[in-house]
């Protein structure tokens, strides 16, 4: 199963403080909008998202259709196909994509320990 680019989305208390901390670890801003309380940062192949006040828990995030530089892939498995495969394997979905749609969509699952996993397709 090809899930796309991987990152960890962190629930942070203060975006500016977290940004400064991760910059000390060698991360640089890749995208986002600090005015909207979110920022994507990268250090080599490691990507983290900093999100202030947007969700309760940290989230494992996969982006079908993107590589680790947030660049479009020529071919990828659509999130709706991934949803179908997950359902067939008995994975419970917390949120689902419209199976008849196309383009951007997301689904949410949870691992056995309650860690949320987001499959977020932007294209």
Q: What pLDDT is attached to residue 102?
A: 93
Looking at the 3D structure of the chain, how many domains does it have?
A: 1
Contacts of 91 (CB under 8 A, 6+ apart): 109
Q: What pLDDT is attached to residue 6?
A: 96
- Would you say how long the chain is, in residues? 123
82 neighbors 108 (Cβ within 8 angstroms): no
Give the 3-state secondary structure of residue 15. Answer: helix
Q: What pLDDT is attached to residue 109?
A: 98
Run means of pLDDT, 10 residues per run, the chain, 123 residues? 95 98 97 96 96 96 93 95 97 96 96 96 93
- Nearest in space to 111 (alpha carbons), one of 92, 98, 96, 95: 92
CATH of the domain at 48: 3.10.180.10
Which range of residues forms the domain containing residue 114? 5-121
Q: What pLDDT is attached to residue 46?
A: 95
Record the pTM. 0.89
CA atoms within 13 Å, Cβ hemisphere of 42: 11
Q: What pLDDT is attached to residue 70?
A: 87
């Amino acid at each position: 199963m090809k899930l796309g680019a991987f990152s960890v989305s962190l629930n942070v208390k203060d975006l500016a403080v977290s940004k400064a901390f991760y910059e000390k670890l060698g991360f640089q801003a890749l995208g986002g909008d600090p005015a909207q309380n979110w920022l994507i940062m990268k250090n080599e192949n490691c990507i983290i998202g900093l999100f202030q006040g947007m969700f309760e828990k940290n989230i494992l995030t996969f982006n079908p259709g993107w590589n680790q530089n947030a660049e479009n892939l020529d071919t990828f498995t659509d999130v709706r196909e991934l949803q179908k495969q997950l359902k067939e394997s008995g994975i419970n979905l917390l949120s689902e994509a419209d199976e008849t749609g196309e383009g951007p969509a997301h689904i949410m699952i949870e691992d056995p320990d309650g860690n949320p996993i987001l499959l977020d397709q932007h294209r």
